[in-house]
Amino acid sequence: MVGAQHALAMVGGLIVPPLLIVPFGTPNGDDYKRYLVQAALIVTGLMTLVQVTGIRIGGKFMWGAGVLSVMGVSFTSVPIVQSTLAKLMKGEGMSFDEAYGHVLGTLCVSTLTPILFSFLPIKVLRKVFPPVVSGVTILLIGIHLTGAGLANWGGGSFCSQTGNYNKLVNGVPAPVLCTGNGQVMYPY
């Protein structure tokens, strides 16, 4: 039963980012959403299979970790992709197909950097990214996220930004029900 719960939780996390990427009001938006969700599920399945099996390449290199793990879609790129698509579609006058093709091409080229880093010996990586640099970077990311967590603690997401309860949620005006104004308030 717990495995089924984990599978359902993973599916939710896999299909939401593609749904958020397609801008509101895009012609044939539902078709694009279906396509992106299917692509996300197929690529996630294939990459999970690669990660779990860990195929040997040459002598000491492996393609995949050989450890039970699930590869998936990341929420971290959603705001960047949304803003880039909006700029390309509104500013450059591209269709969604053209704009998404530009974004996808850029992402494909940018994946070469971590692939090349994976072939470097660990000693080289430790010289390029010493523990002082990587530790401070992780600490600063945590400090930055603490502010967002504290701002949304008393009332949930979107409540602390302004006193107005009509917000733009994914580009659509929508009422946001808040229990407070971003301060710590409880509904009882």
For the chain, domain boundaries: 1-119
Q: Which residues pair with 174 in a beta bridge?
A: 167
pLDDT value of position 40: 92
Q: What is the mean pLDDT of residues 156-169?
A: 55
pLDDT value of position 76: 82
pLDDT value of position 140: 93
pLDDT value of position 158: 54
Q: What is the mean pLDDT of residues 109-126?
A: 90
Give the rounded percent of residues in the chain with a pLDDT score beyond 70.
79
Contacts of residue 61, Cβ cutoff 8 Å, sequence gap at least 6: 119
How big is the chain by its Cα radius of gyration, in Å?
Answer: 21
User: Could you read off the pLDDT of 10-39 as tens digits, one per residue?
Assistant: 888 888 888 888 887 788 888 999 999 999
User: Residue 163: in which H helix or E strand, if any?
Assistant: none
User: Could you read off the pLDDT of 40-76 as tens digits, one per residue?
Assistant: 999 999 988 988 988 888 888 888 888 888 888 888 8
Location of structure tokens 């044939």: 28
Residue 185 has pLDDT above 70, yes or no: no
Of 75-84, 116-125, 147-156, 157-166, the poorest mean pLDDT is in 157-166
Average per-residue pLDDT in the chain?
81
